[in-house]
Amino acid sequence: MLRIHFADNRQAPIWLVDERFTIGQDSRNSLVLTEPEISLFHAEIRQDHGQYYLSDCGSPGGTFVNGERVGARFQLRSDDRVRIGNLELLLVDPAKARPKAEASARWFLQVIKGEHEGQKFHVTGSMSFGRSVKCELCFSDLELSRRHCEFFLKDDVLEVKDLASANGVFVNQQKVNTAMLQPGDQVRMGSVTLLVIGPKVTAPQVVDEDATLFMPVAQLPKASAPRTASRQPVANPLRAAQKNAAPAETARQSPNKVLIGVLLLVVAAAAAFAGKTML
């Protein structure tokens, strides 16, 4: 599917969904342009079996593709540049466009059920989804609101937000207002179901402020067993003095005993001598 981009970025790109897409000043046109050099019904693009054909509606200023003026049923292709008056339009096929090298994560939405089944869309920035031709992801499903929801990247994470749609947005069968998407999620709007393709995302853990927190116990070092010191026996100084004094005391007592013995012998001898004299 082709998408019209404005070279001057005056408005968001427009998907060529309808079989007949008209351009001109008249308010009944699919794309209304107010420039004076543009006719009331200037040109139209018709879709036929997946191909797009541009026809000029007899405008005085003409319609140009890649610098050449065209008439009726000129086949359009991706990357063609259409000039109407001073306005330049670029036709882009997102499925064939070369993705720019980006460091951020790559996300895709693939239609697995409903209109455009099998097509894959690369999500960049913010992309609206709905029936309006001003939506980046435009589908003609009548169950969709004109601006049904929005897909957007936030810190490389893909999210979806319901834009107050009539029939709601469902992620994995659950109705949501806003949801962070994971690869493999299925998002349903109306009769269209999209498969989310992208890198694995780790959901932030919700912290319960009332929950009991268990703190790890500090590992204290084990007390080492006391080592028995090999103490050398210490002599008691009192006992040592007594022990040393004992031989000296014995040595002092020995001469006294000898002296007493000698005196006794002398006394005995004197007594014996006196006895003899008296006789």
Residue 205's pLDDT is: 47
Give the CATH number of the domain where residue 82 resides.
Answer: 2.60.200.20
User: Beta strands 20-24 and 31-32: pairing type?
Assistant: parallel
Does residue 115 sit in the same domain as residue 175? yes
Structural domain including 44 reads 3-92
Which is nearest to 74 in space by CA: 94, 55, 96? 55
Q: Is 58 within a domain?
A: yes
Q: What backbone phi and psi angles, to 5 degrees, belong to 255?
A: -65, -35
Q: Is 257 within a domain?
A: no
Cβ(76)–Cβ(52) below 8 Å: yes
- The three-class DSSP label of residue 247 is helix
Does residue 41 sit in the same domain as residue 7? yes
| Residue 32, C-beta contacts closer than 8 angstroms, at least 6 positions apart | 24, 25, 26
Query: Tens-digit pLDDT profile for the chain (279 aa)?
Result: 788 998 887 788 888 888 999 999 999 999 998 888 999 999 999 998 889 999 999 999 999 999 889 898 899 988 899 999 888 999 988 777 655 444 445 899 999 999 989 888 888 878 899 999 888 899 999 999 999 999 988 878 899 999 999 999 999 999 999 999 999 999 999 999 999 998 865 544 444 555 555 555 555 556 555 555 555 555 555 555 555 555 555 545 555 666 676 677 766 666 666 655 555
Q: How far apart are CA 251 and CA 256, in angstroms?
A: 10
- Give the residue from 157, 176, 197 where a domain finishes: 197
Q: Is 255 within a domain?
A: no
DSSP codes joined into one string, 109-175: EEEEESTTTT-EEEE-SEEEEESSTTSSEE---TTS-TT-EEEEEETTEEEEEE-S-SS-EEETTEE
Alpha helices for the chain (secondary structure H): 237-278
Q: How far apart are CA 8 and CA 212, in angstroms?
A: 58
* DSSP conformation class of 105: -
Count of domains forming the chain: 2
Residue 204's pLDDT is: 46
- Give the residue from 197, 232, 247 where a domain finishes: 197
pTM score: 0.41
Q: Is 203 within a domain?
A: no
